[in-house]
Structure 1
Amino acid sequence: MTDDKQKRAKAYWKENIKYLAILLAIWFVVSYGCGILFREELNQFRLGGFKLGFWFAQQGSIYVFVILIFVYVRLMNKLDKKYGFDE
């Protein structure tokens, strides 16, 4: 592996890990924060007849996780093109 390719690969993985950390932090805040920590505050609102805190604990965090998967795929496709790994 050439030196330039190693530098690109290292930068690629550094950016990849940054994306993963950000997306997992978002998922943690939504699943743990909205479903457990902020449940009482969110329960003042209703979504589809259910208290919002309950909804996040039961379904909302799953929806956010699925959306984050699609966001990750999009980000990785852009990252692959940026570093020339889109074979």
Structure 2
Amino acid sequence: MTEKQKNATAYWKENLKYLAILLSIWFLVSYVFGILLVDQLNTIKMGGFKLGFWFAQQGSIYVFVILIFVYIRLMNKLDKKYGVDE
């Protein structure tokens, strides 16, 4: 295996690791907090709203948008690390 192939393999392994972590966070916030734990979270108030309701209606969307920007930063760093940045 050439050095270029090793770099490409390492790049994609790191990329997939980032994706798995970020998608796990999104799943936790949107599905677990917004659906499965909604009754437990509704006992906590945030800004006058029940926390479970907030996660189901707005929180998961905010977290998703934040995760997009986190992914952009991580990928920019990864691209620079492996010399594939523009």
For normalisation by structure 1, the TM-score amounts to: 0.94
Q: Identify the residue that residue 8 of structure 2 maps to in structure 1.
A: 9
Q: In percent, how many aligned pairs have the same letter?
A: 77
Q: Identify the residue that residue 41 of structure 1 maps to in structure 2.
A: 40
RMSD: 1.1
Aligned residue pairs total 86
Q: Distance in 2 between the 1:8 and 1:68 partners?
A: 26
Letter in 1 for 2:73: R
Deviating beyond 4 angstroms after TM superposition, the runs of 4 or more aligned structure 1 residues are: none
Q: Distance in 2 between the 1:62 and 1:15 partners?
A: 25
Q: Identify the residue that residue 50 of structure 2 maps to in structure 1.
A: 51
Shift of 1:48: 2.0
Shift of 1:50: 1.3
Q: Distance in 1 between the 2:47 and 2:61 partners?
A: 16
Counterparts of 1:13-24 in structure 2, within 5 Å, are 13-24=12-23
Shift of 1:35: 0.5
Q: Distance in 2 between the 1:38 and 1:78 partners?
A: 35
Q: Identify the residue that residue 75 of structure 1 maps to in structure 2.
A: 74
Letter in 1 for 2:38: R
Q: Identify the residue that residue 28 of structure 1 maps to in structure 2.
A: 27
For normalisation by structure 2, the TM-score amounts to: 0.95
* Structure 1 alignment gaps of length 5 or more: none
